[in-house]
Amino acid sequence: MPKQKTDNSKVQARALASKHQPSTPQLPTFNARIEGIDYGILDELTGYAVRRAQLSIYADFSASLGVYDITPQRFSSLVIVSNNPGISQTRLAEVMGIARSGVVAIIDNFEQAGLLERQGSGDRRAYNLHLTKEGQKQLEKYKQAVKEHDDRVSQHLCAKERQQLRALLGKLCVEPE
């Protein structure tokens, strides 16, 4: 019986130690092009090229901001709330293109961290969102890290090419007629 108690103590000690370790997501290394692989029609597809680029960019974003537990979605939501104080959760979900329940989870996380607060809107079912002073401070830190990330992933493009790429990608977002 004492041996089982000792083993249990070791398990608890390991669990406690891992709880205090910073967690950075371990993503598999992404190689956008593997030598010797015939990609066939995939090389002709715009969507495939965009997805491959997105995977590569996301891997760098995660490596850059994972220590802060910030994903592109979380970063975007903080920027939208910062630039649109008082935005409702429903409107934020619409802007982000995600389910309202997804926004609620993001907001809950930020509220617990003291970065964002919900304020009543007069409608018991709706809240207006505002960044706290700490939220504004942290967002500035995140913006700097994201700018460095963006410069890194687009380093092979000149300023004009970056602008052109954003414009071309914007054209892909237009609703079909």
pLDDT of residue 16: 33
Task: Tell me, yes or no, whether 159 lies in a domain.
Answer: yes
Give the phi and the psi of residue 84 in degrees, each rounded to 5. Answer: -135, 65
Domain membership flag for residue 36: no
Under a CB-based contact definition with an 8 Å cutoff, are residues 132 and 114 in contact? yes
Residue 177 lies in a domain: no
Q: Compute the mean pLDDT over every residue in the chain, rounded to the nearest whole number.
A: 83
Q: What percent of the chain has pLDDT over 90?
A: 69
What is the span of the domain harbouring residue 100? 41-172
Among 18-22, 23-27, 40-44, 145-149, the least confident range: 18-22
Looking at the domain assignment, is residue 35 inside a domain? Answer: no
Non-local CB neighbours of 27 within 8 Å, separated by 6+ positions? 59, 62, 63
pLDDT band at 14 (very low <50, low <70, confident <90, very high): very low
- Please give the model's pTM, rounded to 2 decimal places: 0.76
> 4 lies in a domain?
no
Domain harbouring 154, CATH code: 1.10.10.10
Give the list of residues 6+ apart from residue 102 with CB closer than 8 angstroms, or none.
93, 96
In the prediction, which pLDDT does 176 show? Answer: 65
When divided into structural domains, the chain yields a total of: 1
